[in-house]
Copies of this chain bind each other. A is one copy, B any other.
Amino acid sequence: MTDLPTHAEIHEEGPREGFQIEPGPISTADKIKLIEALAATGLEHIQACSLVNPRLVPGWADAEAVLNGFRPRPGVEYTALWFNANGLERALAFRGKLTLHGAIALTASEAFTRKNLNRSHAENVEAMRKQTSLHLSKGVPVDRIGVMAAFGCNYQGDISPTQVIRTLEDGLAIAAEAGTNITLFSLADTMGWATPARIERVLGEVRSRWPDKRLALHLHDTRGLAVANAHAGLRMGAAGNNCTEELVLLCEEMGIKTGVDLDKLIEVGRMAETIVGHQLPSELIHAGSLDAFRRLAA
């Protein structure tokens, strides 16, 4: 219990990932409204958009309009997601408004690398080697390694902690060759295979191998276990994403400060429901915070 951090840094990916999975068109104005409302809740890290090929992700064809449109709030860091040289160029145009970080993105599953990127793992390592040099040549720091499918894969089955460690070693070799220092490992449960027991096992092995690295989890609620996985991650000293308001509630009730006003965040969640035109899979935005009831009961 004493292992718990006193503060958790929450990275909000709702605008980028949330809108990406919505079928309906979301107006540029609504995207801007949501980004500005999120910044007013106390969240300090907001991923604002995806700089990907508009033919593949038509919902983010207006990424530049969104980035131009929102008023940045002092003290809040805005980021964007990109995967290739073209995306990086688009991000560089917003240097100053966006905080730019490059990542070495690998996958623990060879089968998923082939399925998702049509490359072998070795070819992907080679591509990341080039991309890391490119980032550094543009003055964009590369300080993190991301590992997709770190807990299991629909095409390969269970992924062992050893495979995760080997993948991180491949990433560290790329970083060493390029002369950049990695401070953060991000492990992604891309296809929803994580369970609390598996999180503990993988994070335990990674942490004992590299005790000085910060650990982050990217979780999906594919099988309903995301909040239990986030809790297991917090106990292992790793922040994990999932439904942001649930994560804030979980942290605050554990005595871990987030700096986020949960009631405001719940209001923003309700605003997001109005924007997308349907209920979102969050029990909490429908039930309200515990503090709201505490105030009524007091």
Q: A197 contacts which of B198, B246, B254, B293 (Cβ < 8 Å)?
A: B254
Q: How far is the CA of A166 from the CA of B184 in the complex (A)?
A: 47
Q: How far is the CA of A227 from the CA of B230 in the complex (A)?
A: 11
Residues of B within 8 A of A287 (CB): 192, 222-223
Residues of B within 8 A of A253 (CB): 195, 197-198
Q: A225 contacts which of B156, B191, B195, B227 (Cβ < 8 Å)?
A: B227
Interface-forming stretch among A37-45, A147-155, A172-180? A147-155
B297–A154 CB distance below 8 A: yes
Q: How far is the CA of A254 from the CA of B111 in the complex (A)?
A: 26
Is A193 on the interface with B (CB-CB < 8 A)? yes
Interface string of A192-207 (1 = CB under 8 A from B): 1101111010000000
Residues of B within 8 A of A224 (CB): 227, 243, 246, 249, 282-284
Residues of B within 8 A of A158 (CB): 294
Give A197 Cβ to nearest chain B Cβ, in Å.
4
Q: A156 contacts which of B192, B196, B282, B297 (Cβ < 8 Å)?
A: B297
B228–A250 CB distance below 8 A: yes
B294–A157 CB distance below 8 A: yes
Interface string of A139-166 (1 = CB under 8 A from B): 0000000000000111111100000000
What are 15 inter-chain pairs, A to B, with CB distance below 8 A?
A: A1-B200, A152-B290, A157-B293, A192-B283, A193-B293, A196-B231, A196-B250, A197-B253, A198-B253, A221-B283, A223-B246, A225-B246, A228-B228, A281-B281, A281-B283
